[in-house]
Amino acid sequence: MAAGTSSNVHLHDIPDVILSNIFSLETETRTRNAMSLVCLKWLLLERSTRKSLTLRGNIRNLFLLPTCFRAVTHLDLSFLSPWGYPLLDSFSNPLVLAQFLRHAFPSVVSLIVYVRNPLTLHLLASQWPNLQHVKLVRWHQLWPAAPVGSDLVPLFDHCPMLSSLDVSHFYCWTEDLPPVIQAYPSIATSLSHLNILKHDSSTDGFKSHQLLSITACCPNLRKLLATCIFNPRFIGFISDQTLLTLALNCPLLSLLHLADSTSMSNVRPNLIEDASISFAALGDVFSKLPLLEELVLDVCHNVKHTWPALELLNTKCPTLKSLRLGQFQGICRGIASPPDGVALCQALESLSIKNCTDLTDKALIAISHGCHRLSKFEVLGCNQLTRKGMWEFTHNLRKTLVDVKISYCKNLNAVSSLQALEPIRDRIVKLHIDCVWASIIGEEKSLKNWSKLKYLSLWIAVGELLNPLSLSGLNDCPSLEEIQIKIQGDCRDQPKPFMAAFGLSSLTCYPNLTRMILDCSGVTGYALTAPVGHTDLSLWERFFLSGIQDSTLNELNYWTAQDVDVNQRCLFLPAAGLLAQCGSLRKLFIHGTANEHLMMFLLGNPTLRDVQLREDYYPAPDNDTITEMRVGSCCRFEDALNSSSRHVPD
């Protein structure tokens, strides 16, 4: 048929094979659900091509378990409620439940699950013997009499094809993993991805001999992420010899991520002590890992004069695309010519520099000339950098740079950071800055359009206000969809908030903002009665959340503040009342505890469809007397939330 003539060809005339491929290319869940509503054919096609599924809801409601997603290969069970409780203990015969899950999802090869006790893995792993990727989640304390490695043994017993293991969010001892790895040499040999990077600052890192015993059993690892001990004062610290042996044990690594255990905490870095790592040994390590594509070394102790070793990355690791260095000193001397150090890594697309005390504007500009492909750049704790140097850096990379993070840099407050990003203002997509307003008054404001900015991350000290954000130059962000705000500080050092509200109402100037992460986990205060002259956390919570009722948010992740003395992170009455008034909110995830009667306040919000409590911090509360949210109360709340009497507009 000639071009431009009319046609009676209908969408249904597209061959099923092509239509199936089109459906497979769409990964966004809500879009796929919308596609499935078009007609019965599309419904069946969407269900038959779905490869990834995250189950929510209460595990007791088996009649709601979908059985039409038989092609799903990646299954996430870690969000089932009651969250944090043993998955299969709700039934008198847990084996039947495990078999029912296998029958509903027979094709699963990738599994994420909350493992409160070894029985969960013992029953589930036997149902899917072809599992290749497993991620375990647990924030509760270990069982008192649990033998070393008992949580992992069922997985290795039943899954001989295991090639990827992620325990980064699984609370266990560092002593648990090495003996299990050694006891199953065939599985250890087939492992290509091992993530033992703990995201909890209270967890100790792996000692040198533990890390080497693991890597010696896993010679085919492609990706290794681990929390280590780099402090030379500690027994089992990571030394030159450790890194060299690790490189010899795993020569096929494409991703190596080693971070000190203190890098996960909010403690300021130790800029005095040196690590027991030399630039000469680093050069040898790089020479033995020619396939590296991503390298992270967050040492938290000084590694000095590193520019000669970093120059080798360009020749010895030609495929390196991403580099993150923590407390490496002398990474680039910044001499006029020729370029040196990290500036020679011309293939880099992502670079993160943390706590480099001698990084100057000249060195930063040299890096921008040498690493001309950078699309992502992070700089943290580099106090010699100025607005002028950052402006020149972004100007040189204005054609590629779209993701920037500037944090803890003394000379770069909110206004100066935004002014330094002026050359890429119309291109940047993702941004993090610190909300330091000390010198905002009197500085020239740049009230301009950030047309492509979709994600904004902010750090702000407790007691400070968010309102000056729009005055600093970020008032016009028409594409902004998600914002993350991390509040940090000790409320016990302050008598009370000096203003009625933190300033969330100022975010109404962003018309497309629908998702927010409000992280108050770094805020410490008094959960119970505060001393005379001080304010308890309930009033601080009112201060933080006031104005959220005016927002257009669809999804909120809220980390509650904490009282470290009593290990309590909970939702208070002001927060429950304010969240109930957020009329557009559909999804609410509270990372902390709450009383049942306060959770019932949330039912007053007519749009809420998905609410969950996640105690994802260590140690997660277990049998404490403060919260009423137990299995029964959780079920009562969910029944009320999903009641037919609540009309939730879609």
The pLDDT tens digits for 70-105 are: 999 999 999 988 888 888 887 888 999 999 999 999
Question: Is the bond preceding residue 338 a cis peptide, omega within 30 degrees?
Answer: yes
Sign of the dihedral defined by the CA atoms of residues 506, 510, 515, 516, in that order: negative
Instruction: Provide the token pair at 287.
Output: 């020479």
- pLDDT given at position 91: 81
Instruction: Provide the token pair at 156.
Output: 């290795």
**pLDDT tens across 183-205, in order?**
999 999 999 999 999 877 666 89
**pLDDT tens across 328-383, in order?**
999 998 876 678 899 999 999 999 999 999 999 999 999 999 999 999 999 999 99
- pLDDT given at position 266: 56
Ranges of each domain in the chain: 14-50
Helix-strand-coil split of the chain, %, nearest 5: 30, 20, 50
One-letter amino acid at 608 equals L
Asked whether the beta carbons of 400 and 389 are under 8 A apart, the reply is no
Locate tokens 């800055």: which residue?
433
- pLDDT given at position 622: 65
Instruction: Provide the token pair at 363.
Output: 């060195």
- pLDDT given at position 1: 41
Q: Can you tell me whether residue 254 is helix, strand or coil?
A: coil
Q: Output b/e per residue, 45-76; b: 16+ Cβ within 10 A.
A: bbbebbeebebeebbbeeeeeeeebeebbbbb
CATH of 14-50, one of 1.10.10.10, 3.20.20.70, 3.40.50.300, 1.20.1280.50: 1.20.1280.50
- pLDDT given at position 3: 47
Q: Please list the ranges in the chain whose pLDDT falls under 70.
A: 1-7, 9, 201-203, 266-271, 336-337, 439-446, 618, 621-629, 650
Give the C-alpha separation, 538 to 542, whole Å: 6
- pLDDT given at position 437: 86
- pLDDT given at position 440: 57
One-letter amino acid at 26 equals E
- pLDDT given at position 165: 98
Give the C-alpha separation, 264 to 201, whole Å: 5
Instruction: Identify the burial level of 649 via C-beta atoms within 10 angstroms of its C-beta, where 0-12 means exposed, 13-18 middle and 19 or more buried.
Output: exposed
Q: Can you tell me whether residue 23 is helix, strand or coil?
A: helix
One-letter amino acid at 175 equals E
- pLDDT given at position 629: 63
The pTM score is 0.91
